[in-house]
Amino acid sequence: MPPLNADERVNLESWLDFYRATLAMKCEGLTEEQLRTASVAPSPLTLLGLVQHLAEVERNWFRRVLTGEEAPAIYAGKAEPVGHDEGFGLSGESSFETARNTWQDEISRARVNCASRSLDDTAPFMGGEVSLRWIYTHMLGEYARHDGHADFIRERIDGSTGV
């Protein structure tokens, strides 16, 4: 639970960590097969795909955008359909352990990349500038949306609901 009375930076970072932890919790105790179980037809969305996707999102915003690093996509071209990017697609080689480790590594790198920057620091983006504050806010929305997806997928798998 994020602190109830903190400064803006602690508030943003704490909520982002809360949402990260929520996704991890939604995946706990499931088999590899369950983590690959799609939500509801026609959607191919899975918990494993969400973890892979959020590793890509962490990499994009906190490495490519914020620091300008030339970090290649993690999952592009490795999933069905071929060329599916953003991490949602699964390949026969996809495993939760590998995806979770990759995701946690990207989170660790994000924390390092943000630690020395102020919320007002900016990076070039789409012909303008984007602030770290904006990136944090965007990431909160990204995780909140996907945690909602994860909640529905988990409920379909074993009836488990809630945070």
In a domain, 67, yes or no: yes
Indicate the Cα dihedral angle 78, 81, 82, 87, nearest 10°.
-40
In a domain, 32, yes or no: yes
Given this model, what pLDDT does residue 78 score? 64
Given this model, what pLDDT does residue 80 score? 52
Given this model, what pLDDT does residue 86 score? 82
Q: What percent of the chain has pLDDT over 70?
A: 94
In a domain, 162, yes or no: no
- Domain of 77: which CATH number? 1.20.120.450
How many domains does the chain fold into? 1
Indicate the Cα dihedral angle 40, 103, 75, 156, nearest 10°.
-10
Across the range 120-125, mean pLDDT stands at 98
In a domain, 83, yes or no: yes
In a domain, 163, yes or no: no
Backbone angles phi, psi at 36, to 5 degrees: -95, 0
Average pLDDT of the chain to the nearest whole number = 93
Look at residue 32 and tell me whether its pLDDT is greater than 80.
Answer: yes
Look at residue 126 and tell me whether its pLDDT is greater than 90.
Answer: yes
Reported as a single tens digit per residue, the pLDDT across 2-28 is: 999 999 999 999 999 999 999 999 999
The residue range of the domain holding 19 is 8-157
pTM for the whole structure: 0.93
pLDDT band per the 50, 70, 90 thresholds, residue 84: very low
Given this model, what pLDDT does residue 79 score? 57
Given this model, what pLDDT does residue 42 score? 85
In a domain, 3, yes or no: no
b (16+ CB within 10 A) / e for 140-152: eebbeebbebbbe
In a domain, 1, yes or no: no
pLDDT band per the 50, 70, 90 thresholds, residue 62: very high
In a domain, 19, yes or no: yes
Residue type, 145: R
